[in-house]
Amino acid sequence: MVLPRIISFTVDSVIDDKAPDLPASVLAWVEKIGGITRLKEQPLLIAAAVIAVALAAAICRFLFRYFNEVAAQRFVRRMRDNLYGKIQRLPYSWHGANSTGDIIQRCTSDVETIKVFVSEQLTSLVRVIVLIVLAVRFMAGISARMTAAASLFIPVVVGYSLFFYAKIGDTFEKADTEEGKLSAIAQENLTGVRVVRAFGRELYERERFEKQNGIYTVLWIRLMRILSLYWVTGDVMTGLQYLLVIVMGSVFCVNGMITAGEFIAFVSYNSLLIWPVRMLGRVISEMSKAGISLNRLRYIMNAEEEKEPEGALTPPMDRDIRFENISFSYEGATGGALKDVSFVIPAGSTVGILGGTGSGKSTLMYLLEKLYPLGEGQGRILIGDTDLSKIKSSYVRSQIGMVLQEPYLFSRTIEENIAITSRRYGREEVRVASKTADLLDTIEKFPSGFETFVGERGVTLSGGQKQRTAIAQTLIRKCPVMIFDDSLSAVDAETDARIRAALRKDTEGATVILIAHRIMTLMHADKIIVMEKGRIREMGTHEELLASGGIYRQIYDLQMEGIEMSDESGVADESGVSDKSEVPAESERRAQDEE
């Protein structure tokens, strides 16, 4: 705001002879350096004043940019930390209902959109308002009529900005959603690259990605078309306003209504006015994009967190586990996953659960781990005499070790993956757990041993190696309750037998729940539960179930027949090991049990 006044003073009072129209303090400073006469003799003093003002402005702009960017980055860091912390506290069902790619999109692209709006548009709002007020004030001091004409364009700019606000917001929301889908496709493809290659689906995945990328691109082109129209409209309005000021100023100057210096100053102030007015319009238009991103983040931040019961308990978990009248269905599912299921798992016993896909085996374990809450009238689970719903969730999960059929390994070393639950575990504990999981020999054959780096999702390991790593990961915790959810499905029968023998020794005293499709994995359990379509169909020991001649017996006969045929034809399983050795006679099996 100072520079146009210096130029106006120079033109009218230094070059011409008009009496200076300056504040008293400035006039006193001019007189102190020798007055206008000296300025006429040494115009470099005016140049020095211009340079000084420009340097001061440059320093202010540098400080503004620096501190604004520092604040913006800290703002983004807090947003991401809060989002990540919130996501960690959301229930398992929420994660199942939202794709990973879309969540990542919200935590990256939408956060960046809000950061740009806050740091570049919103922080400039005060500056814009100050500039508009000062520019209009100084312009009004030169010519009220010209100021009124120039100011007419301000409501026009705000008006068309509001018109474009809704159009920009709708299109941006669609584009942002499609970008989330695109991110999800890329994330799924990259993490499942081995499956894609194994089934030769590269072309299909590429076409799928390109199709989604095309949809996303079309939306962004549409958004750019709207933004281009918006900015062109702004350019036209700005040009018309500038033209009006030049024409009116020229006429007023020729007619002696304003001086040449005042005309130059007015044009300069008008130039300063145009930018903040357009900036105000941009704030309005960008607000629509930021509003959409804010709503997408609000969806996460307003999601209901996993709640702990009032006065949450931490009772001993080495007690009987009772499932009483459990009837449960997943949200959005047409049928119930479990229907009136009741049974008891005595403390320290081994219970096997057999059933086909969708029979509800894994759902029982998810309920036991409190990954899904039981609602009113859906039954209850008791640990000893304590209702599971009254026990602290984090405590339950720290006391129950669970190995899934498809374990997830992180991009770390094998040792770090096995000891991931706590830093207190050393190499010796890792070795013992690896030996029990029949993994130690395999690890020692790797060139880097325990320091072997496991790629994302464990891509550098085979399916069986991943499962054994996950078993070691659970065993090292020494939990009073251990669940093995079909966690031996990817290992051969001989390895299965060795692991089960080691588990019987290592998990002595712990309550063990085995979920499997192989009867050989379950036959030594103290109790075996057979499930079908969410209900318990049979329950008893291996001998009792064989004698009953029901579903268990049918599955047993089918599996044994397959093993015998495989052995007679000399065809081994995938590891080259026949399963026949896993079908001992009754006396041999009892001897093995005693051992």
**Number of separate helices (H) and strands (E) present in the chain:** 24, 10
Which sign, positive or negative, has the C-alpha torsion 141, 143, 149, 150? Answer: negative
Strand stretches in 213-263, DSSP E = none
At 311 the three-state DSSP class reads coil
Q: How far from chain centre, in Å, is Cα 239?
A: 45
Rounded Cα distance between 322 and 386, Å, is 10
Neighbours of 458 (CB within 10 A): 22
The residues pairing with 532 across neighbouring beta strands, listed in sequence order, are 535
Q: Give the β-pairing of 350-355 and 380-383.
A: unpaired
The two tokens of residue 93 are 């069902």
Contacts of 461 (CB under 8 A, 6+ apart): 409, 454, 469
In our burial notation (b when 16+ CB lie closer than 10 A, e otherwise), range 350-381 reads bbbbbbeeebbbbbbbbbbbbbbbbeeebbeb
Answer yes or no: are the C-beta atoms of 140 and 148 closer than 8 Å. no
Please tell me the predicted confidence (pLDDT) of residue 567. 56
The residue ranges of every structural domain in the chain are 2-301, 321-554
Rounded Cα distance between 49 and 532, Å, is 90
The Cα-based distances of 248 to 11, 148, 238, 332 in angstroms read 20, 11, 15, 69
Edge-to-edge strands, sheet with 481-485: 400-403, 481-485, 511-516, 350-355, 527-532, 535-540
Please tell me the predicted confidence (pLDDT) of residue 19. 75
Which sign, positive or negative, has the C-alpha torsion 279, 280, 284, 287? Answer: positive
Q: Would you state the CATH architecture of domain 2-301? A: Up-down Bundle (1.20)
Answer yes or no: are the C-beta atoms of 437 and 498 closer than 8 Å. no
Rounded Cα distance between 352 and 515, Å, is 6
Please tell me the predicted confidence (pLDDT) of residue 190. 77
Please tell me the predicted confidence (pLDDT) of residue 475. 84
Going by the DSSP 8-state scheme, the letter that residue 305 receives in this structure is P
The Cα-based distances of 502 to 191, 272, 439, 495, 509 in angstroms read 33, 80, 12, 11, 14
In this structure, which CATH number among 3.30.590.10, 3.30.930.10, 3.40.50.2300, 3.40.50.300 belongs to the domain 321-554?
3.40.50.300
Rounded Cα distance between 483 and 369, Å, is 10
- DSSP H or E run through 530: strand 527-532
Average pLDDT for runs of 10 along the chain of length 595: 81 78 76 79 85 92 92 93 92 84 86 89 80 84 86 80 76 82 82 76 87 91 86 84 88 87 85 75 75 90 87 90 90 74 91 86 89 87 92 90 81 85 80 86 86 72 82 86 79 72 76 86 89 90 90 88 58 39 40 44
The residues pairing with 17 across neighbouring beta strands, listed in sequence order, are none
**Phi, psi at residue 239, to the nearest 5°?**
-60, -45
Please tell me the predicted confidence (pLDDT) of residue 573. 43
Neighbours of 432 (CB within 10 A): 16
What pTM was computed for the model? 0.66
The residues pairing with 324 across neighbouring beta strands, listed in sequence order, are 380
Please tell me the predicted confidence (pLDDT) of residue 333. 64
Rounded Cα distance between 14 and 39, Å, is 7
Please tell me the predicted confidence (pLDDT) of residue 582. 39
Please tell me the predicted confidence (pLDDT) of residue 583. 40
